[in-house]
């Protein structure tokens, strides 16, 4: 195997979007274009059941094909594309954020009828922090939505990122003529039948169509689009590949995931511009090249099987360098323990299969019997490697938790400790009384916690919701226990660092006014 070549054709990305923006539908299109599935269409009935699963499992149910949750690998146009799922709705959890630590690029799908929505904003911020390229797909142009100029302005304003429209819609809804493809210098036509069966019409040096000019000029949506394109090419941001790579400029595409219009153009540009895997930084500031022979990787997600009959868990590893082969021996940096990795899984579009080999950029699943924790590094060879810790995220939802049966304190504490270590939930204790408080970024984390504690540790718990809070860390020297009240509860986190849980923004502002010298910090 030519490692260099294999790494260079990897594209590892996640799709970020607000629920219902069209993530599933666009994923389906990618599967279709890559030949992984043969039919597509609206994923119907997905709202009828209670899904605490990946969207792809819903596709699986709809299509009767077997796509696995969480990670998929498909071949597209000579590239090996790894898509990592970022569950959007009821599954929203720290996992969703952490997944973004394992990808090299993100695709942001926006419903053009709605614009930037809250979940998109949260996920975007994590991508921004990592400085990975972000590609924007303005979806649902087959419906009447908001004006494209307004959408692009909102994108820049709310998210604080520059944008470069790669194409521009000519109309929308029933009047959606197609896209003026600025980057590829052509018109992409939504209704080829109206143009003698042409899907595309080339543009000359002046940006004028090479054929059907008169017909096009009779269309008001074409003329309007032309005016807008002139405006954005003169007054907008220049195309800048380095800025795209640094995540400072997002290329914007328009289209419809449902009808597939504009999707292929988008995917082609995406695989061309999205980066192949690059270096990964270690704790001591070294950069590990993906082309290194030494195999390294880190664990960013542990998925416990919710089925009580099977206690197995899968640890998801992002390979950072080298060529992984089945049966290799690795060392776990945290414990120094040697492990032979025999039972590994790779996730293909239509099946899980045993991994024979994988390279940097790929994501593999390791069957875990309790060896791994989120953030662990694995490596081959003698040279120890330890990648930087994965960031912790500021939880927003809190829950008091106590064991139902006081006689079973031991299993309760053991279970809590392990689930916290695994990164499934965050733990806080009230400053004085050390009552347990759980913190999460999504409701599902609590449900999973309760379920696993019962099933894996035989500990039934009482959970008392505290609602959403604003968690802010302070320096230990600033502590004055009299500062604590029910509206700003002083707690300690799992490392005994002092943290306030504010009831709301008002409470935080009030506190800050009263104690202007106390610095309040958030995690990510
Ligand atoms: P998600 O994974 O981001 O949550 O979104 P998903 O792809 O499931 O799409 C949500 C709904 O939006 C689906 O409708 C889907 O068919 C529709 N949709 C996605 N892309 C487009 C598009 O380009 N144009 C139009 N018109 N619709 C699109 P659904 O499941 O039938 O539910 P409903 O929302 O229509 O009730």
Q: Whole-angstrom Cα distance, residue 46 to residue 61?
A: 9
Q: Are 459 and 407 in contact (CB under 8 A)?
A: no
Q: Residue 444 has what pLDDT?
A: 78
Tens-place pLDDT, residues 135-159? 999 999 999 999 999 999 999 999 9
Sequence-separated (6 or more) residues with CB below 8 Å from residue 43: 24, 25, 28, 58, 59, 62
- Residue 161 in tokens: 């990122």
Examine the pLDDT at 62 and tell me if it is beyond 50: no
Mean pLDDT of 264-274: 95
Among 214, 247, 273, the domain-final residue is: 273
Q: Are residues 342 and 444 part of one domain? A: no
Digit-coded pLDDT (tens) for 421-467 = 777 889 999 998 999 999 998 887 888 888 888 888 899 999 999 98
**pLDDT of 40:** 55
Alpha helices by DSSP H, listed for 109-159, are 118-130, 148-159
| Backbone φ and ψ of 275, nearest 5° | -80, 155
Identify whether residues 314 and 430 lie together within a single domain.
Answer: no
Whether 228 is covered by a domain: the verdict is no
Lowest mean pLDDT among 170-179, 240-249, 371-380, 390-399: 390-399
- CA–CA separation, 498 vs 173, rounded Å? 53
Q: The domain that contains 150 carries what CATH number? A: 3.40.50.300
Same domain, 286 and 351: yes
Strand ranges, E, within 98-225: 105-111, 134-139, 162-165, 167-170, 178-181, 186-189, 200-202
Q: Which residues are annotated as a binding site for GTP?
A: 17-24, 85-89, 139-142
66 phi and psi angles, rounded to 5 deg: -105, 95
364 is a domain residue = yes
190 assigned to some structural domain: no
Q: Label residues 16-31 b or e (16+ Cβ within 10 Å = b).
A: bbbbbbbbbbbbbbbb
Q: Which tops the pLDDT comparison, 395 or 228? A: 228
Of 10-24, 39-53, 115-129, 139-153, the range with the lowest mean pLDDT is 39-53
Nearest to 111 by CA among 131, 149, 137: 137
Q: Is the CB of 114 under 6 A from ligand 1?
A: no
Residue 387 lies in a domain: no
Query: Does 497 lie in the same domain as 371?
Result: no
Same domain, 407 and 373: no
pLDDT tens per residue across span 333-357: 999 999 998 877 765 544 555 666 7
Distance (Å) of CA 385 to CA 126, 297, 317, 432: 25, 9, 15, 39
Could you tell me if 496 and 434 lie in one domain?
yes
Q: Is residue 391 part of a domain?
A: no
| Token pair listed for 352 | 């899980």
Question: Can you give the pLDDT at residue 294?
Answer: 96
Compute the half-sphere exposure of residue 367: CA atoms within 13 Å on the CB side of its CA: 15
Residue 213 lies in a domain: no
> What was the pLDDT predicted at 39?
59
Index of the ligand 1 atom closest to the CA of residue 42: 16
State what percent of residues in the chain have pLDDT above 70: 88
Ligand 1 atom closest to 45 (CA): 30
Last residue of a domain, one of 273, 296, 322: 273
For residue 165 and ligand 1, the question of a CB distance below 6 A is answered with no
Contact present, 487 and 503 (Cβ < 8 Å): yes
Is the residue at 91 inside a domain?
Answer: yes
Q: Residue 216 Cα, ligand 1 centroid: separation in angstroms? A: 31
Q: Is the CB of 88 under 6 A from ligand 1?
A: yes
Which CATH number covers residue 457? 3.30.70.3280
CA geometry: angle at 488 spanning 486 and 492, to 5°? 105
Query: Which domain, by its residues, includes 458?
Result: 397-521
Residues 259 and 324 in one domain: no
Tell which wins on pLDDT, 432 or 263.
263
246 and 341 fall within a common domain: no
Same domain, 375 and 480: no
Q: Please tell me if the CB atom of residue 20 comes closer than 6 angstroms to any atom of ligand 1.
A: yes
Lowest mean pLDDT across 52-56, 85-89, 261-265, 496-500: 52-56
Q: Are 429 and 492 in contact (CB under 8 A)?
A: yes
**Distance from the alpha carbon of residue 21 to the mean position of ligand 1, in angstroms:** 7
Q: How confident is the model at residue 120 (pLDDT cuts 50, 70, 90)?
A: confident
For residues 398 and 370, the model is more confident at: 398
15 and 160, same domain (yes or no): yes
> Which CATH number goes with the domain that contains 348?
2.40.30.10
State the Cα angle at 393 between 100 and 17, rounded to 5°.
Answer: 45
Return the structure tokens found at 363.
């994501």
How many other C-beta atoms can be found within 10 angstroms of the C-beta atom of residue 490?
Answer: 19
Residue 50 has pLDDT above 60, yes or no: no
Identify the H or E element spanning 338. strand 337-340
Ligand 1 contacts CB of residue 256 (under 6 A): yes
- Centre of ligand 1 to C-alpha 280, Å, is 36
Query: Which of 313, 347, 379 is the endpoint of a domain?
Result: 379
Give the least confident one: 58-62, 149-153, 266-270, 510-514. 58-62
* 257 within ligand 1 shell (Cβ under 6 A): yes
Cα–Cα distance for residue pair 323/361, rounded to 1 Å = 10
Share of the chain above pLDDT 90, in %: 62
pLDDT band for position 84 (50/70/90)? confident
> If you measure from the C-alpha of residue 115 to the centroid of ligand 1, how many angstroms do you get, rounded to a whole number?
15
CA–centroid distance, 43 to ligand 1, in Å, is 8
Q: Residue 82 pLDDT > 60, yes or no? A: yes
pLDDT score for 484: 85
Mean pLDDT of all residues belonging to the chain: 87
Burial class (CB in 10 A: 0-12, 13-18, 19+), 239: middle
Atom of ligand 1 nearest to the CA of 259: 23
Helix (H) or strand (E) holding 12: strand 10-17
| Number of domains forming the structure of the chain | 3
* pLDDT, position 455: 82
157-176 tens-digit pLDDT = 999 999 999 999 999 999 99
From CA 24, how far away is CA 93, in angstroms rounded? Answer: 18
The reply to whether 454 and 416 lie within a common domain is yes
Does residue 368 fall inside a structural domain? yes
The ligand 1 atom at the shortest distance from the C-alpha of residue 143 is 26
Is residue 42 very low, low, confident or very high in pLDDT (cuts 50, 70, 90)? very low
Residue 54 has pLDDT above 90, yes or no: no
Q: Is pLDDT at 178 greater than 80 in this prediction?
A: yes
Is there a single domain that holds both residue 9 and residue 154?
Answer: yes
258: which 2 tokens?
Answer: 């449902």
């Amino acid at each position: 195997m030519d490692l260099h070549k294999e790494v260079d054709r990897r594209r590892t990305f996640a799709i970020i979007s607000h629920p219902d923006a069209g993530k599933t539908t666009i994923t389906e299109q990618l599967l279709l274009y890559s030949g992984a599935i043969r039919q597509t269409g609206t994923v119907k009935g997905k709202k009828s059941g209670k899904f605490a699963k990946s969207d792809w499992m819903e596709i699986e149910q709809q299509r009767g094909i077997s796509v696995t949750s969480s990670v998929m690998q498909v071949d597209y146009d000579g590239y090996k594309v790894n898509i990592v799922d970022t569950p959007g709705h009821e599954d929203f959890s720290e996992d969703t954020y952490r997944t973004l630590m394992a990808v090299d690029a993100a695709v942001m799908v926006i419903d053009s009828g709605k614009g930037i929505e809250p979940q998109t904003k949260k996920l975007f911020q994590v991508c921004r922090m990592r400085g990975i390229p972000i590609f924007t797909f303005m979806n649902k142009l087959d419906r009447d939505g908001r004006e494209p100029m307004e959408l692009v302005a909102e994108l820049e304003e709310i998210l604080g990122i520059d944008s470069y429209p790669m194409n521009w819609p000519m109309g929308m809804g029933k009047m959606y003529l197609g896209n003026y493809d600025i980057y590829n210098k052509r018109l992409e036509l939504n209704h080829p039948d109206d143009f003698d069966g042409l899907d595309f019409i080339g543009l000359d040096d002046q940006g004028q169509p090479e054929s059907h000019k008169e017909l096009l000029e009779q269309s008001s949506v074409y003329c309007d689009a032309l005016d807008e394109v002139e405006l954005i090419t003169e007054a907008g941001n220049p195309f800048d590949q380095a800025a795209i790579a640094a995540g400072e400029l997002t290329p914007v595409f328009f289209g419809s995931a449902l009808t597939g219009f504009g999707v292929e153009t988008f995917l082609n540009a995406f695989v061309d511009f999205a980066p192949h895997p690059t270096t990964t930084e270690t704790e001591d500031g070294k950069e590990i090249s993906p082309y290194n022979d030494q195999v390294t990787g880190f664990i960013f997600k542990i998925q416990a099987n919710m089925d009580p009959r099977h206690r197995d868990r899968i640890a998801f590893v992002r390979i950072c360098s080298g060529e992984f082969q089945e049966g290799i021996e690795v060392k776990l940096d945290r414990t120094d323990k040697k492990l032979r990795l025999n039972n590994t899984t790779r996730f293909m579009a239509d099946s899980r299969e045993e991994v024979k080999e994988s390279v940097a950029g790929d994501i593999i699943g390791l069957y875990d019997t309790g060896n791994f924790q989120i953030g662990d590094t694995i490596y081959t060879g003698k040279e120890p490697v330890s990648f930087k810790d994965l960031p912790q995220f500021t939880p927003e939802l809190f829950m008091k938790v106590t064991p139902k049966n006081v006689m079973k304190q031991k299993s309760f504490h053991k279970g809590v400790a392990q689930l916290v270590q695994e990164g499934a939930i965050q733990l806080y204790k009230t400053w004085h009384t050390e009552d347990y408080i759980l913190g999460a970024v999504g409701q599902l984390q609590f449900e999973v916690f309760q379920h696993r504690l019962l099933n894996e540790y035989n500990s039934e718990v009482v959970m008392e919701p505290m609602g959403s809070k604003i968690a802010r860390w302070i320096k230990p020297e600033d502590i004055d226990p009299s500062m604590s009240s029910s509206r700003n509860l002083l707690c300690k986190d799992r490392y005994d660092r002092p943290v306030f849980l504010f009831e709301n923004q008002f409470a935080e502002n009030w506190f800050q006014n009263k104690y202007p010298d106390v610095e309040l910090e958030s995690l990510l």
